[in-house]
Amino acid sequence: MTTDEILGFDAEINEEERLPLEPGLYVFKVKAFEPSASQSSGVPLSVVTMLLYSPDSPTPVGKIRDWFPMTRKAEWKICAYFRTIGMKKHGQPLRMDWPGSVGKFGICQIIEEEYNRNIRAKVGAYIDNEDVEDLKLISLLETFRKSAENKAFRTPQQTNENIDEVEVPF
């Protein structure tokens, strides 16, 4: 059950961050990376903002942020993130390139979590492509990646587009 927060008539809102997301698998595009630190412990964090796509929609169906503590205990999560976006292979060491992950695509599982008596969407896991059985999801991911590769090899004069804004070409 969701507890509904009351807004003032002059409250500031951002509907993009409040789009309801159903639990499940989504293709994501890394939209932004921001270095940060935990307010409670001071541990460095990598904050990643992602656009989410369902297999039935070539336009984003939501936006979500995820926080990666830069600690040895969080290596599993960091590795899973870089594997799904194609910047790490199983069994090989990883040199993290957070800014280089912007514009990359991967697959994640969205779950619901209760936080402060509210239900919210959260990244539950980053999924390796070979572990996904949904062919529509894999097809969407490959379409995105090919489109981004094609845009990356063109000069700005040829595309008149910002490479970070590449969307599915249909």
Question: What is the residue-wise DSSP string for the chain?
Answer: -PPPPPPPTT----GGGG----SEEEEEEEEEEEEEE-TTT--EEEEEEEEEE-TT-SS--EEEEEEEE-SGGGHHHHHHHHHHTTS--TTS-----HHHHTT-EEEEEEEEEEETTEEEEEEEEEE-GGG---HHHHHHHHHHHHHHHHHHTS-HHHH-S-GGG-----
Site of tokens 């993009």: 16
pLDDT tens track, the chain, 170 positions: 345 567 777 777 665 544 568 899 999 999 999 999 999 999 999 999 999 998 887 789 999 999 999 999 999 999 999 999 999 999 999 999 999 999 999 999 999 988 888 888 999 999 998 888 888 888 988 988 888 887 765 544 444 444 444 444 43
**Sign of the four-CA dihedral 28, 62, 144, 111:** positive
- Looking at the domain assignment, is residue 8 inside a domain? no
User: And the tokens for 140?
Assistant: 């969407």
Model pTM above 0.85: no
- Looking at the domain assignment, is residue 83 inside a domain? yes
- Looking at the domain assignment, is residue 135 inside a domain? yes
User: And the tokens for 169?
Assistant: 């070409």
- Looking at the domain assignment, is residue 48 inside a domain? yes
Residue 34, strand partner residues: 47
- Looking at the domain assignment, is residue 1 inside a domain? no
Number of folded domains in the chain? Answer: 1
The per-residue pLDDT for 15 is 55
- Looking at the domain assignment, is residue 164 inside a domain? no
Range of the domain at 120: 18-155
Side-chain half-sphere exposure of 16, counting CA atoms within 13 A = 9
- Looking at the domain assignment, is residue 87 inside a domain? yes
- Looking at the domain assignment, is residue 58 inside a domain? yes
The per-residue pLDDT for 151 is 74
